[in-house]
Amino acid sequence: MRNNIPYIEVTGIERNIDFDAHYKVKGYKGISFYLLGWKADEVENEEFEDIELSPDYSTVIAVMVGDDRKHDVDIDDLELLAEDGFCRSCGQIGCGCNVYA
């Protein structure tokens, strides 16, 4: 986990991933995540002497609800959550403190 992971921001559904939804992530028990976009590789463009971002469609950048650190997550490790299945404040799955019904 690094906080400066390059990514390409996405909203809506792209490649069967709903970037507006919330997810449970394998290896992180009991906490919900939201998605920012596709992880990106920085590719040097020699013609224009700059850096371009190339999307890695097997990996998304996810953030725990209630946190700000970015995690790179394999798309096979995502499990879609019901929008009323987690707390919007702390991110805990099953907490009923701040739930949208």
Domain presence at residue 92:
no
Domain presence at residue 50:
yes
Given this model, what pLDDT does residue 99 score? 83
Write out the residue range of the structural domain in which residue 51 sits.
7-80
When the pLDDT of each residue in the chain is averaged and rounded to a whole number, the result is 91
Domain presence at residue 45:
yes
In this structure, what token pair is assigned to residue 61?
A: 């950048």
Domain presence at residue 101:
no
SS3 category, 77: helix
Rounded distance between C-alpha atoms, residue 89 and residue 48, angstroms: 44
Number of domains in the chain: 1
Domain presence at residue 46:
yes
Contacts of 95 (CB under 8 A, 6+ apart): 86, 87
Domain presence at residue 14:
yes
pLDDT in tens, 6-43: 999 999 999 999 999 999 999 999 999 999 999 999 88
pTM: 0.86
Domain presence at residue 97:
no
* 76 φ, ψ (degrees, to nearest 5): -70, -10
Domain presence at residue 41:
yes
